[in-house]
Structure formats: C-alpha cells, structure tokens
Chain A
C-alpha cells in the first residue's frame, strides 16, 4: 500500500477505498498531491473515491473486460505499449492483440456505455503518467466472467510495462483483515495450504509435513477419488443442502451438517435460499463472538452457538493486503465464558478422535503452528517468517521507512516490514514488490514464475513460443543471464516446492536466482474456456440486443459439486429486462464490515449508519413516485424481496440501484431480532441486500455474481 506513494497515476476499478480501506487513502492521496498523479475511477456508481478523482468513468456493471481491451487497443494503436517489456517478459502477446483489436472505442461504448472519447482520454492518461497503480476489489471479480475481467487488468499492466515496478502493479485490496492469509492457508475447497492443489503429490507433501501416514489419510475419506475432487464452495454450499443428493455430485449424500466459523451469512447471494438451507440442516454450529444472522434465521432445534473469543483475546500472525505478516498480540484473556479459536478447535479434534495425529508437531500454540505451516508452505515462501522474526518486526515497527517499508538501522536493518512473501530463508528480507527484476532475489527481487512449461504451442494460432524470459532479462547477480526453468532434482526426487530440507531453495538463492524460475507472464491460459479474456454478457442481461454477440458460457456440470447454469439461464431470461429493468449492484459502507455481525453489535457505528437503504437516481425516483426516505420494495427475478428506505442520489444513474450488503435482522421489512438470543440482538437491523442478488457464478472460481444482476423497484 505504501508503494502507491510512488505511482504517477492511479486507476481504481470496482474499488472504493474511502469506504472499504479508508486508511490506505493517506498513501493514495500522497501520490495525488506529491506526484500530481491523476486518479481515475471506473465504477457504475459515483463513489466517495470518485469525488477525489481527476477522471470518473461510469461503466455498466460487468463490462470491465471490454473497457480494458478497448484501452489496450488504443494504447497499441498509438504505439504507447512498452515494447521492450513485452519482448522480454510477456508471452501470447500477438494472439491477445488480435482479440483486443475487436474492441474499438466505438464498440466499447456500445457495450459499456463509456463514451469513445473517454476511452481515448484514459488511455492517454495512463500512457503519459507511468507507472500506473491499478487497484480492483469485488467490483471486478463478482461476475460470471470475473476471472476474465481480472486477467484483462493484469494484461493492461503488462502492455504498459507497469508490472514488477515500484508505483505500478496490480493492487487487489483484500476485504477482511486476514483474507490474504486465510487464502494463502487455503481454506478453499480446491487446494491444500499454500496453493498445492489436491493432487496425490500435494497430499503426500502435506502428509510428510504433518508427519502422518498417507494411507491413513486416504482412509479418512469416502475413497481416494474424493481426496482429489474439489468440494463445495461458500457461494454454493446451500445448493448442496437444497438440491437433493441425486442432483449434486457429493458421493450420494446431501450436506447435512454445517460449521459456520467466523463467517457471516448474509454476504451470500440468493440469501433467501440460504435461509431455507439453514432450516433443512440436521446440525448447524455457529462459532462466533456475536450471533450471526445464520443463528437467528435457523428456527429448528438443530442449531448451536459457540462463543468464540474475539481476535484481541487470542494471538497469531495475520497477512495484510500487501502480504505483510504481522503478529496480532493478545490484548486480554477471553471474556465471559468464551474460548479462543485454538481451544475450540482442540475440543473438536480431541472429541472426534484424531488429536494424536493432528497435534503431532504442535506443543506451543500458536508458535509451533506457525513453524509447521511455514515448513510446508514453500510455494509462496512462507518459510522465512519465523514467529521470532515477525514479533521482532512488531517491536521495531517504528524503524521502517514509510516510503520503502525497509528498516533503516535497528534490529531489522535492511528487511522489509512484515517480510512480504516470498521470504525464502530466515535471512531473506521479504519481497515487497512481486516480479521486480531491478533488485537481486536475495534482496527482495523476483522474476515471473516458470509454472507452465518452458515452451508452449498455442492451439488458436499454431505458434510455438518460449515461455522463459528473454536472454539478458533477469535479476542482478543471477548466474543465468536470462530466463530459466524452476529448480528441481537438487535433492533427488524433489523440486523446490517439495524439498522439505529447503536445500533446493538455498541452492537457487546462492546463485542469485529464484527457486521457481524466470519466465514470461502469459496472456494465454490454455486451460481456461476463454484462453484470452473476452467480454460475455451477464446471465440476466439488460442488453438482450448484444447477447448474441457476447453470449455466456455453456452450462457447466459438476462445478464444485453442483451443476451450474450459464447458457440455459441466459436463454431463459432473454427478455427479463422488460420486467426487471434496473441493474443491481452492491457495496460497502465505511461504518460496517462484511455481513455486519460485528459492526452492528457496535452502538457507535450503528448510530452513524443505522439503516438499510436502496440508492436510486432522482429522475427514476420521481418517475416512480418514490420520495427520499420513503419505503421501497426491491425484488429479484428469483423471487427475493426486500423492503427498505430509498436514498435518492445522483451517485447512481437512472438504470442502476445500489444496495449496501451489511444488514440483517429484518425480512421484508419485519424485524426478526427476537430470534437472536435475548440481549445479543444487533443494535441495527435491516433487510439483507443479498436477498436480491441474482443467480450467477464465475466459470473458474465460482465467485457469486452480485454486481451485475437485475431487479425491479417500487414504492412500498
């Protein structure tokens, strides 16, 4: 985040830091004031950040990829691309360009609603103010094509040569405080910790780290094939409850039990279906400092709430959006009869009978866990940040320079704050900027990773291309002057990821080289349905006239254990815009967080932001007879319905309705606060915005499409 101080221009797409990441604004505004860096905000809504922007670009939700490809098109047509960067560090460029050429500024205007001259203007601003820092958040990801949209952001930065540079790069501001760390540790149904995946090799690696027998582990599963198969996701688990065991792919059973641990529920789309699922479960266990709406909405006798201590009553490391690892010290002991997470987990593990295997390496909690996870998480270099080093950084945080985040003198001299991963060894300073070849690897530099082979043949063009970086392109002091493959067979039968002795990593570093090789960043992903990202219309499109040109994907069976509709959903709803004429988009308020269980239990924050509302444009409000502060009903095509106040504002245009998604505690305007345990009901209740968000999931990640659905609104 501090590195944004070096940006010469900043573009934010689907990101609104004054609400979602307020303290980052001091660095963003520093770039604006000190470097005269123009701020460009691309958003369907004129946000608080847009108020600070030099250029506000109003975009139709879900069309970001088209805009990015349009920018690339203009940049290349004008000759503003970074030719040397592309020649030495990028692959699949020619093929990508063929696709981008179709997105002329005029075509982009038709798709996105952005005037063609504004696309030219933004392209020029980016080209003439390098490096650009590009930031996205959920506004870029929560679409059926979210995985394509985010790739276009990266490709734009490659074309401009802004990757791996101070003041440049793609900065994905993470939402919750430790979403980076929880992702790195892979509380994800498609991977074991540190992105090892679910292959046999991954399981064997982690069994070695855990010091348990691989065959014992296989015996824990229904059968071996279920170890390799992705599980349900947070966005669709409830369909695993509701759809019936014959319609899902879960080994002949539906989901009967749910543990919901530190996870609010009303951040799920199609929340009215989620509510049905809670009531169909045989067992629901909510583990949280505050009762979530899940506990209140489950009216059966199958629900328990376990009082977890807050994170200030326990300790451990957390990873910020900038990959800095900080030690969150315990402030006080758990209050009331609450227990901390580690103790609650110990209750589960012990009573379920696998404590001996589970805690084999773990005596001191949490430090021994830090050591165990570090010893196995070699893919992302989580091994150099020992508990002792992390704590030392906390004690010396005042010694780090605000501009570079490098310690000047003192106990951490030369290290980067929080040792951003990869931190390859216990002597490594951390990597503050990914893929930066201006510095030696030993001093925090890094090339692009060699992950997808040394050479590739592209199906679309028949072209064969070397995937390694060009000759002469490498970090200073690299023994190999140019691209090179990942390190393997230093210890026979292993590679840099699986050699637990870490000799391979040390061998690479001794040569000034990165353990994972030095390759090119790809514009083509040959395993994705869209090998080069393109625009596709949302499933519920407000533009049926262009659906034929930009259709969605084929339906996808067994997508994380549930069949997922694309083509059939879009075809069925071809004229849906007649009845649901407004695009629905959602977002955050600075006063609340996530599903709001914590912040709506804070009376000061509730005093500031006590009520649910729907933002509506004045012209639309007047046409529909809706008054500012009057009650409205908002409805989804799937039958979801909420009642809330109208906030009449120019922030949204005449075709868009915006809802904050933090509220719960009332349903169609009726409070269910009495369903919370007495005395624990939140200070502020409201209808949940996610009751209205539509069906739709990303083709790769299955992230929910909450930003580009449709709705209708009327006076209540």
Chain B
C-alpha cells in the first residue's frame, strides 16, 4: 500500500507540480528520501521472494566447523552480482548473498539464488562421451582427446585449417576467451566466433 502511494506521489510530482507529496506531509524531505530508497531496495527483493526462500531452505545457521567463505561472481548475466560461497571439506555447501557487494548489494534474482546448482545439479556431465552406433558411451579423457585431435589433424591435412569452425563462449573468463581467440590464430583460421554476434 505504502509503495503504491509513494509511486503515485512521485509520478504526479514529476509530471505536474514538481512538488513532492509524502506519506505524511509532516515528514521532512530527508525522511522521504530514506523511505523511497528503502522502497527501491525492497522492490528488488520482492521480485525474487519466491526463490530466495528456496535458496535459503536450509536456513541461515552457524557456519560448518572449519568451513571457509569464498567471494565469487555469479555466472548468469552481466550485472556481475557477488556471491559468498561456503565451502566445507572441499564441498560447496551453502551460498549467501553478498550484502556489501557494491553493485548487487545483497540482491539476487532467482537464477543467482540457485547458482550453487551449477555444481550440485545431478544433470552435470560426469565423463567424456561419444556416440557409438547411435548410443552414448562413456570414454576416457585420453581416448576422447586422441580421437578428436587425430580427426582434427586429418581434416586440417585434407581440407585445410578453414574446415574447422570454433564457436567459443561468453561464459568463460577473460583469460579463457583470450585463449580461444589465440587458439584459432595458432590453428590457422579466422573461423571463430561467440555469442556476442547474436
């Protein structure tokens, strides 16, 4: 209720009178600004209530004994929100919003609130795989890399370096992105691109 009143008042003041109307006319301008700032922050949180709850399903309790907190950055969009990851015995056990991160300031969307699932999802690929007679088969890294690079060398030999195209990634670090572009150069082709194109 309070929110809609504030919004209405700010709208009317911008479009018509330029005079600010507060919830309580006796409130000083300074108090109004405090309220509206809090409202803005709340709106951000309110949008994510549904999932923030889920992320906190385990509840915020005392840290695991001997656990450490790692500051890291969300891997979804380019806002670049902070994440505090609690790691216990080498396992990512819980995540917390970074309340003092200068951009995200303790906010997360539903995706960021579930960032831990990038590691814990049972859907993660566990072994290198190839298709054999149409069926997926797990193979070793050595077999996979030997077969792949042998094929690449054959194709390069027969058709030249431009027979390979490399679709790289906006999801890797700057260092890895740089390495992908450098790889294409050393392989000998400009057939390399990534999601910024689309």
Contact = CB atoms under 8 A, between A and B. Distances in A.
Interface string A523-559: 0000000000000000000000000000000000000
Given A187-B181, A283-B148, 9 more contacts: A33-B40, A36-B14, A176-B195, A179-B194, A182-B196, A251-B162, A261-B180, A312-B92, A328-B73
Interface in B159-198: 159-198
Contact of B110 (A54, A220, A339, A590): A590
Contacts of A341: 172-173, 176, 179
A616 interface: no
11 contacts: A36-B11, A175-B78, A179-B195, A185-B177, A217-B186, A232-B165, A234-B167, A306-B128, A312-B119, A397-B102, A681-B123
Residue with the greatest number of chain B CB neighbours at <10 A, chosen from A2, A268, A341: A341
Contacts of A345: 176, 179-180, 183
A347 B81 contact: no
B181 A174 contact: no
Contact of B71 (A282, A394, A592): A394
In the complex, which range does the number of interface residues on chain A fall in?
A: 35 or more
A188 B184 CA distance: 10
Contact of B80 (A318, A331, A592, A599): A318
Q: Give the most central of B37, B80, B87, B160: most A CB within 10 Å.
A: B80
A672 interface: no
Contacts of A701: 197
B38 to A, nearest CB: 9
Given A307-B125, A397-B98, A187 B180 contact: yes
A231 B172 contact: no
B169 A261 contact: yes
Interface in A653-694: 677-683
Most buried by A among B40, B144, B194, B198: B198
A400 B80 CA distance: 15
A234 B43 CA distance: 37
Interface string B89-132: 01110000010111111011111101101110111111111111
Contacts of A349: 183, 186
A179 B198 contact: no
A54 B14 contact: yes
B41 interface: yes
Contacts of B80: 177, 318, 320-322, 324, 326, 418
Question: Interface centre among A176, A330, A357, A608, by most B CB within 10 Å?
Answer: A176
Contacts of B87: 331-332
Given A36-B10, A187-B168, A259-B167, A26 B187 contact: no
B43 A304 contact: no
A300 B170 contact: no
Contacts of B177: 178, 181-182, 184-185, 187
Interface string A306-342: 1110111111111111101111111111011111011
B198 A591 contact: no
Interface string B137-155: 0000100111111011101
B31 interface: no
A623 to B, nearest CB: 34
A133 B114 CA distance: 31
A267 interface: yes
B134 to A, nearest CB: 6
A602 B50 CA distance: 15
B195 A594 contact: yes
B198 to A, nearest CB: 5
A33 B190 contact: no
Contacts of A36: 10-11, 13-14, 20
Given A226-B162, A233-B197, A601 B36 contact: no
A261 B168 contact: yes
B112 to A, nearest CB: 7
A29 B109 contact: no
A373 B172 CA distance: 15
Among B81, B103, B109, B189: residue with most chain A CB under 10 A: B103
Given A142-B198, A231-B193, A373-B175, A253 B148 contact: no
A247 to B, nearest CB: 15
A500 interface: no
B173 A181 contact: yes
Given A263-B168, A678-B136, A328 B125 contact: no
Given A23-B79, A345-B176, A677-B136, A237 B191 contact: yes
Given A253-B162, A261-B166, A29 B40 contact: yes
Given A306-B144, A337-B127, A342 B118 contact: no
A237 B165 contact: yes
B105 A402 contact: yes
B186 A177 contact: no
Interface in A208-266: 210, 217, 220-222, 226-227, 229-235, 237, 240, 250-263
Contacts of B39: 29, 33
Contacts of B105: 26, 402
Interface string B64-76: 0000001111111
Interface size bucket, B side?
35 or more
B145 A23 contact: no
B47 A25 contact: yes
B22 interface: no
Contacts of B131: 298-303
Q: In terms of DSSP, what is the predominant structure of the interface of chain B?
A: mixed
Contact of B146 (A181, A310, A317, A351): A351
Sort A-B residue pairs by CB-CB distance and give the 4 closest, nearest first: A316-B173, A262-B169, A320-B80, A231-B190
B33 interface: yes
Most interface-central of A311, A325, A337, A345 (chain B CB within 10 A):
A311
Contact of A222 (B132, B161, B181): B161
Contacts of A24: 79
B43 A602 contact: no
A263 B196 CA distance: 11
A192 interface: yes
Given A185-B181, A324-B80, A417 B103 contact: yes
Nearest to A31: B40
Interface stretch (A72-80, A99-107, A287-295): A287-295
Nearest to A54: B11
A301 B133 contact: yes
Contacts of A22: 44, 47-48, 79, 107, 109-110
Nearest to A701: B197
Contact of B165 (A2, A255, A405): A255
Nearest to B144: A304
A348 to B, nearest CB: 7
A358 B197 contact: no
A56 to B, nearest CB: 13
Given A328-B73, A351-B145, A604-B117, A206 B14 contact: no
A569 B44 CA distance: 45
A605 B124 CA distance: 16
B149 to A, nearest CB: 4
A184 B172 CA distance: 13
A177 B175 contact: no
Contact of A336 (B54, B126, B144): B126
A324 B78 CA distance: 10
A401 B160 CA distance: 54
A704 interface: yes
Contacts of B178: 185, 193, 369, 372-373
A201 interface: no
B187 A352 contact: yes
A229 B189 CA distance: 9
A118 interface: no
Nearest to A609: B110
Contact of A329 (B70, B125, B159, B163): B70
B125 A258 contact: no
Given A324-B80, A398-B100, A187 B124 contact: no
Contacts of A193: 178, 181-182
B169 A263 contact: yes
